Structure 1
């Protein structure tokens, strides 16, 4: 059987893809992740803050889960949503960082085709889930500040469970078409992904077929999920700010604003890099590729590290439990 080889050159690195490495539907058996193109010489140095970020993310989010589980007084809607956020951050970090570090340290760039699509699904579905959790937490803060006497009757355990299920199902179901559409395309040009993880648009751009369906669906997802969540979060915090400025004393205003400020920091750390990455894929042809990939990595790495720090420091109940835990 005659085999042909395709010489691929990315930067100064040649890659070969043989016809024998493709399936009957022209799927490559593996993809090659380049890490951060243009910064290959600095991969080892870049891996150091990435590794530290990952360790802090794991330790911080596990600590949040452990403290909330052990303390019955923290079994309230806000802390339930915080536990969901910690779990989501653990999944996002673990689905991307180990492979990134293997690229940076071991030059292990290959990833199985199915494993790549699985990683893509986890990244995008749990990103959508995290966005929904921020919306749910904004709703909880709105009820707690604007309707404090009715908080326990509005956000009952049953309501919190329904909100949580809706958030998880929305993120899980809406992203299902991503891997199915990506699997249908033929990949006859190259199997090299100029990225450090399997991002949806970065994969489908390699297809030698019309990818308008995937592109339009991705855009619809961004509008449906991100824009809607950001809008509802903005409405909630607008009402919260009105309620804060209506408080009788300055100390009460500062205390309440401090609590909401920590939430806003987490929200901004999540949405700003994600919107930058999304817009760059479509309109940022003049943005340097290495800068784009770095921002895409920050979008997945920074929030999981910052969230437990922000909530652990700014939330008095959790801060007191952490001090008590380590003092023992």
Structure 2
């Protein structure tokens, strides 16, 4: 089989398309013929050894897939050859075939393409866990979403609206503002590119405060980090919930006196660990996502697709923060 492999730490340009022996499904596993693999921010980190997981090399990036069952391992029930599925294996998805734990697979609904399926699970499952479990978002809350035109950002916008919240989307361009509006955002704020000096940080905080209103944001969803974090935190409501989702702009340091003054919570969001520790709760979230998908309240936006041989270009486009929604690698 062909696979896009990382042989040594480095950027997307270091990946090579190689031939490997076909993997074999073991006990409790499924061999999947991959039809599409989504690109996510962890893919930009894992190939540089900057992610919390460091697979043995060589390995293929690609933590989110859609495909068909090619073989069923010993002891697996409920799956047959030819069944369509989606899964989040963590890595290995940018290959023609991958072996996954059968318990982590979900059936791809009829009428949905492999590209759509590959683009759903990681971003929406992260966002529903963040907003429902960690942010306790409820109807009538004001939700501020940073990086609102990215994959997790657009998912948070849609899920916030589905929950009945007022959603304020923060983005870095007018094009991204239009995408956030199309996803249902009630208001949009376009912020400048960092880094920021003291005056720039203060001005950004005021932009956020003006956007969310005098009562502040009940929930702040931050998949960006960096110099944007503290200004966003300054716009939080009394007893608000600040959700730490990711750090493409860098890992910030928050002044804890702000949390005291606003009596607010800062909550980490690690969906992968949550799904492993509480699979029943995660399965319930996935069922809710399928219901919202069926109702048209959520819909993955795919801005670009690349063939497997050009998967490095797809990862690079995400790393450069030029993507609206998701990028998908397709395999025939």
- Higher fraction of strand: 2
Higher relative contact order by CA 8 Å / sep ≥ 6: 1 or 2?
1
What TM-score bracket applies, with the shorter chain setting the length? under 0.3
With the length of structure 1 as denominator, give the TM-score of the two structures: 0.26
Which structure has the greater CA radius of gyration? Answer: 1
With the length of structure 2 as denominator, give the TM-score of the two structures: 0.25
- Higher fraction of helix: 1
